[in-house]
Amino acid sequence: MENGQFAENCYLLAPGGSTDAVILDPGEEPERFLMEARRRGWTITAIWLTHAHIDHILGVGRIQAATQAPIHLHPADRLIYDNLSNQARLFGLEAPSAPKPDHVLTHGQRLMLGPISFEVRHTPGHSPGSVCFVTDGIVLGGDVLFQGSVGRTDLPGGSFETLASSIHTQLFTLPDDTVVYPGHGRHTTIGAERLTNPFVGE
C-alpha cells in the first residue's frame, strides 16, 4: 500500500489459507495497515524492516503497540533507527522514539511465513543495514532497486559503489522473471533491470 507524503510502499503478507501476517516497512499511515489487516481477518505476527529510514519506520511504534509483533532489523541500521526523532525533524515532522528491535537480521538467515521461506540478503549501499527478503520468484527489495533506478546514496552511510555491488551480487544473480517489489513505485523484474537499468544494467 502506497502511503504518506513519501509515497512509500508498505506490504502486508499472508500465505493462502492463513490468518497470520507479516507487515513490511510500516510507514506513515499505520492505521490504514491495521484496518486492512482487520478487514482481511489477519493477525500481524511480525514486523520486517528492509532498512531504517524514516519513511519506512514511522509506523513501527503504532503497529507494535497494537499487535505486540516483534520487530526485525539489521544491526548495521540500528544507529539510523534509534535516531527516528532526529530524522523526523529534518522533514518538519515529529515522531517518538522507535521501539527497540526484538530480532537481529543476518545475511543468509531464513524467515518463515507459514510454509513460505524468505532468505534475508544483506544489500548495503542505500543504507548500511539495508536488506532484501527473497523467496521463489519474489524480492521484497526496500530502496535497493527500483524500476529504472536505484536507491539514493547521498544519505549518511550511503555508497553508490556498495549499492551497485549489492545489486549485482545479491539480486542480478536471481532468475530474470523474479519480480521485485520495491519501497517506492511500481514493481519490476530482475531481467528488465539487468538489461535496461541506466544505473546498474548491463
Residue 201 domain-assigned (yes or no): no
The contacts of residue 28 (CB under 8 Å, 6+ apart) are 3, 4, 5, 6, 8, 55, 58, 59
Contact 142, 132 (CB under 8 A): yes
Domain residue limits at 136:
2-196
pLDDT tens, residue order, the chain (202 aa): 999 999 999 999 999 989 999 999 999 999 999 999 999 999 999 999 999 999 999 999 999 999 999 999 999 999 999 999 889 888 888 888 899 999 999 999 999 999 999 999 999 999 999 999 999 999 999 999 999 999 999 999 999 999 999 999 999 999 999 999 999 999 999 999 999 999 997 7
What is the predicted pLDDT for the residue at 96?
84
Residue 84 domain-assigned (yes or no): yes
Residue 104 domain-assigned (yes or no): yes
User: Running DSSP on this structure, what letter comes out for residue 28?
Assistant: S
Q: What is the CATH classification number for the domain harbouring 190?
A: 3.60.15.10
Contact 127, 53 (CB under 8 A): yes
The contacts of residue 22 (CB under 8 Å, 6+ apart) are 12, 13, 14, 44, 45, 46, 47, 48, 113
Residue 26 domain-assigned (yes or no): yes
Backbone φ, ψ for residue 166 (5° rounding): -60, -45
3-state helix, strand and coil shares in percent for the chain, rounded to the nearest 5: 30, 25, 45
User: Which has the closest alpha carbon to 141: 184, 102, 105?
Assistant: 184
What is the predicted pLDDT for the residue at 91?
83
Residue 202 domain-assigned (yes or no): no
Tell me how many domains the chain contains: 1
Residue 18 domain-assigned (yes or no): yes
Q: What is the pTM of this model?
A: 0.97
